[in-house]
Amino acid sequence: MKKGIILIAIGIILLAVDLRISIGDAYAPMEVIDDLGEVIQDKIIYNLIGERPKVDLISDVLGFIFLFIGALFLLKYDTKIILGILLIPFAIYLYITIMRLPYNFILRDLYLKAAGYHFLLVIIEILTELFIIKSVIKVVQCTQTKWNSNELLVGWVLAMISKGVLSGIHFFYSRGVFYFVYSLVMIGATVFYLNRLYVITKFKLEENP
């Protein structure tokens, strides 16, 4: 159980830290079409898609893999964690597909898929963490740590709200200073709720060596 929780914590940290660099061949020039709205298309072209593929130095795919393996360790303690496990392959697929969209689609198809997949990935990531964290709490929580569990949930909710806000900032303002500053809020909330998870887990393991 302890090994699974450690792997899940590592995965959550990897997903929270976002440092992207450009790689690969530049995308072909993208044109604005009349029937989608110039402003929205500009946001998608310049803020979401960019000039070339971008990958996270601290890989989101690696984070999802840690979550997947860690969740498998806890599957025997709470079978409902399977809901989070099943979402992870879809998240990895979307993450890779988003980078390849400009090579395979143009104009309307590209812009709609880029925006749709961007927000869908955020939703799947939040749901994945929700199912996994709920199962972890169920496994390690006891009467003595009920207050810590509530603190954990408050920190998790703040982190997930921040993740949603960051996806909007990314869409409207790109990954500038505003994005970086607000990402510190999400990282802080993530560190807080993982600290509460550590406290709960430590008490549980010491109680039941």
- Secondary structure (DSSP) of 39-86: HHHHIIIIIII-SS-EEESS-HHHHHHHHHHHHHHHTTT-GGGHHHHH
- State pLDDT tens for residues 179-202: 988 999 999 999 999 999 999 988
**pLDDT classification of 205: cutoffs 50, 70, 90:** low
What is the rounded average pLDDT of the residues 169-174? 88
pTM of the model: 0.86
Give the percent of the chain with pLDDT over 70.
97
pLDDT at 92: 94
CA 32 to CA 71: how far, in whole Å?
43
Token pair recorded at residue 75: 């599957």
DSSP letters spanning 101-136: HHHH--HHHHHHHHHHHHHHHHHHHHHHHHHHHHHH
- CA–CA separation, 181 and 18 (whole Å): 12
Using alpha carbons, list the distances in angstroms from residue 47 to 107, 172, 179.
16, 7, 12
Over the Cα atoms of the chain, what is R_g? 19
Alpha-carbon distance of 83 to 177, in angstroms, equals 36
- Asked which of 59-68, 101-110, 111-120, 154-163 is least confident by mean pLDDT, the reply is 101-110
Q: At a CB cut-off of 8 Å and minimum separation 6, what does 140 contact?
A: 1, 5, 197, 200, 201, 204
Residues in the chain, how many? 209
What value does the mean pLDDT take over residues 143-151?
87
pLDDT score of 155 more than 90: yes
